[in-house]
Amino acid sequence: MLEFRLLGTLEARAGERPVALGHARQQCVLAALLAGTGQPVPADQLLHRVWDDRVPHRGRETLYAYLSRLRRTLEPHSVRLVRRSGGYTLDLGEATVDLHRFRHLIARARQDTDDRSALPLFEEALGLWRGEPLAGLNSPWLNTVREQLRTERWATELDWTDALLRTGRHSECLAGLSVRAGQYPLDERLAGQFMLALYRSGRAADALAHYRRVRGQLAEELGTDPAAPLQQLHQQILTGDAALPLAEPGPAARTGAPALVPRQLPGRPRWFTGRERQLAELDKALGSRGEPGGTVMISAIGGSGGIGKTWLALHWAHHNIGRFPDGQLYVDLRGFDPSDRPVALTTAVRGFLDALGVDSGSVPVDVQAQLGLYRSLLEGRHMLIVLDNAADAEQAAALLPGSATCTVLVTSRRRLAGLASAHGARMVTLDVLADAEARELIRRHLGEDRVAAEPEAVAALLEHCAGLPLAISVVAARAAAHPDFPLAVLAEELREESARLDALDAGDLTASVRAAFTVSYRALTAGAAKVFRLVGLAPGPEIGLAAVGSLLACPATAVHAALRELENAHLVRQSVPGRYRLHDLVRLYAVEQARTELADGGAEALSRVVDFCLHTAYAAAQRLDPHRDGIGLTAARPGVTPLALADQDAALAWFTVEHPTLLSTIDLAVRTRHDAHAWQLAWSLETFFDYRGHWHDWIAGQHIALDAAQRLGNVSWEAAAHRSLGNVYTQTGRLDEGHTHFRHALDLYDALGDRDSQAHTRRGLGWVCNQQGRQQDALDHATQALTLYRQTGHQAGQAKALNNVGWLNIALGNHRAALEYCTQAVALNQAIGDRHGEAGAWDSLGYAHHHLTEYTAALDCYRRALELDRSFGDRYGETEILHHLGDTHLALADLQAAQLAWRHALEIAGEIGHPATAELRGKLSGLLQTPPADDLGGETTNC
């Protein structure tokens, strides 16, 4: 079901998922259709409602374009935008519109003669409001509608208050009446409600004082006296009329304190945006306040500095202010104030007692007695207490009320686990804003026109702010200070990482990203601060626990406590168990601190983490392909503890998780002049890239390796990089480049006299020649490779060369000879335990049987190959085998099996960029046009 919301920003939601409604002017068109009575709206009237007398050139065509886009957006959700004789209208079907529901509920409530059943209807209707109706949309007609809706809400609030007063619930509406009476001092109906609520709460003097204020303002501003109903109420209060019974004294009266209704909340955050999930969590928590247990409802909002914790708390509090009729208490505990110490407990509780109306002479001297009085005053009262910027759980816990009728919001940069464990607090953690939320925030700051005028600059600004609300607000403040400056100038200033934190400073401590981080950093212990600095330097978007241990030259278990402290301070985030990530701007701050406070700028620590990555990657590469010729590594530095990976699955999983970090580590090795490490890391990643189809990373890594080898003057490594590039270029169908790199490698290996490597390269040349259609040249290279392997006794190489020779004999039509070579390849691979080589040999053997029309044998070979290949995760090889398997199924006229095999092959090929993607797509397309099996005449296809 689709839900439209007009009583706030214009929204459409399909369940929990928002539906994009386009830009503001297009939303105005939708609002003009939704806000009406359901009657068709003519095009001319729509033009007037959206543009008034400023209809743009070709405005009708623009309107039709907006209607067409809205139609495409809404129809998938069963909402039809239709044109009838009278104009355009929305056929809403199952959709609901909050405005229409509001009016329907109010009509029912006003018709109900029983206030007790009418009140829930009033409350449900008012609960639909989320703020200013149609906020952010602007046209003269919409402004008129907005003013009308404000009037409707005002009348509803007055009717609701009358019903509350008639049912004796004066205490529930007193706080709201006090606020509204200050806002609308000349509204006599409101004044009467407030006076009656005050009188019934035992505050007759306050009621009479309010009457005198209203009478004075009416005389001064309008030159008139209060109307008869208000004068009559005044007279009844003066005489203590029995028709206006006084309430029984409450807890505040028994303590000698007047029953004040504190309203301490700071103003609603003007620019607040997003956070739908967290707001829903707070709503849900408030809704479950009546659960058994009799404990106060507490929500602890946590997150890093500048993430928007206070904004969220205050926005939610203001939106739900009507649910706390006995008032709201607020204190900034200054747990992380850059210019002052945290607020002392005595100061905080004394501020609350003052707000609750306790006379200074009645306040106990002992702080525990003050807390007892504070909790006594709150007993049975429906109040909200906001404890902002708590230093820790202990500071917040001291100020918790005892009454289960109260609700507490606590914000802190620390994770307040103590509140959760000891007091049942609901933990709400804030992360950075989503892309759409960040864009909406900067739009609200700068306006739609300025944002729309420089979309590329805005995108760059948001990228550099990385979703941090404080950073976006600082950028917006700086842009607003110079409204005539292009945003591109500010975006360019933020582009340089080294100066970005300087640019994110609007001139005071509350508008500086660096200052926000500094407060959290200075609160750390020395050990946690050291870990923070070094983790900021580490390569990649995140780091694992074992790598942190090597970074600090200590066992991984020894850094657990420091990482927990950083996580509790929201300076690092544990994305998955054992892996830690810093926000982009937090990382820049950590790097600044490392360069300032570490004598070598962290160079030794970085060398250790590069060593950790290299030695673990090398061990993982040997697990993936234990028959690959190894390379010699020097011993890891002291303090480095590489991971011991148990098997091939563990190695593949580690590579998959660490893939982005390992790429960054190669770059780091080059920047820090660790050329040998850069070459060795690229070598160690080659098999993983091959198995997973990461062709671009493979190419980039080997070009880095080639440059590093040349700088080192290591000819053997240079040749190996050329050979690896020959492999990947051939793999991706760039055959001329592949052939060139293989030839460079062979020339270098010939000069070195390295016969094993010559044989490896000959196999590569055979492969690329076969792909180029030069099968005889390919067979010559493969045969020479086999001879070289036999001369050196390289069994793994022999097995691969036997397979290649067999394959090429198939291409040349020598199928029986191919069977012999491929059978030998299978046997030799089994003897040496090379499962990867064995899978390739079974695939070739199946291919030979296929060309001999021995299809059943071919299927058996392919299935063996597929089983082996899937056990070690070679996705390129799996694509090849499935491709061949589909060919054989087609030859057996099993179209369904052929389609299944090719479709699976195509899925993998598309994901990894396999060069056979187009061919597979063509085969599947042709298969769909193949006549049914009954029409094939019993013939088979010899592929």
| Cα of 63 vs its chain's centroid, Å | 35
Average pLDDT over residues 661-671: 93
pLDDT attached to residue 668 = 92
Average pLDDT over residues 325-353: 83
Q: Could you give the CA distance from residue 890 to residue 884 in angstroms, rounded to a whole number?
A: 10
pLDDT attached to residue 661 = 93
pLDDT exceeds cutoff 80 at 621: yes
Q: HSE (CB half, 13 Å, CA atoms) of 833? A: 5
pLDDT attached to residue 667 = 93
pLDDT exceeds cutoff 90 at 760: yes
Residue closest to 86 by CA, chosen among 52, 141, 38, 139: 38
Higher local confidence (pLDDT), 283 or 827: 827
Q: HSE (CB half, 13 Å, CA atoms) of 882? A: 26
Lowest-confidence region among 74-83, 93-102, 318-327, 500-509: 500-509
- DSSP string computed for 775-828: HHHHHHHHHHHHHHHHHHT-HHHHHHHHHHHHHHHHHTT-HHHHHHHHHHHHHH
pLDDT attached to residue 105 = 92
Residue closest to 138 by CA, chosen among 3, 27, 22, 262: 27
pLDDT exceeds cutoff 70 at 926: yes
pLDDT exceeds cutoff 80 at 287: no
pLDDT level of residue 253 (50, 70, 90 thresholds): very low
Q: Could you give the CA distance from residue 843 to residue 884 in angstroms, rounded to a whole number?
A: 8
pLDDT attached to residue 221 = 81
pLDDT exceeds cutoff 80 at 79: yes
pLDDT exceeds cutoff 90 at 745: yes
pLDDT attached to residue 37 = 63
Lowest-confidence region among 93-107, 399-413, 910-924, 929-943: 929-943
pLDDT tens, residue by residue, 172-224: 777 678 767 877 888 889 999 989 988 888 788 888 888 998 898 888 888 88
pLDDT attached to residue 929 = 62
> Over the chain, what is the mean pLDDT?
86
How many other C-beta atoms lie within 10 A of the C-beta of residue 247? Answer: 16
Average pLDDT over residues 900-904: 91
pLDDT attached to residue 339 = 58
Q: How far is CA 599 from CA 368, 432, 485, 623, 639, in A?
A: 49, 33, 41, 39, 19
pLDDT attached to residue 258 = 39
pLDDT level of residue 256 (50, 70, 90 thresholds): very low
pLDDT exceeds cutoff 70 at 290: no
pLDDT tens, residue by residue, 346-397: 888 888 888 888 776 667 777 888 888 888 888 888 899 999 989 888 989 9
pLDDT attached to residue 40 = 85
Higher local confidence (pLDDT), 940 or 449: 449
Burial class of residue 578 in the structure, from the number of CB atoms within 10 Å of its CB (0-12 exposed, 13-18 middle, 19+ buried)? middle
- Provide the token pair at 218: 């009416």
pLDDT attached to residue 255 = 37
Give residue 915's identity as a one-letter amino acid code. Answer: P
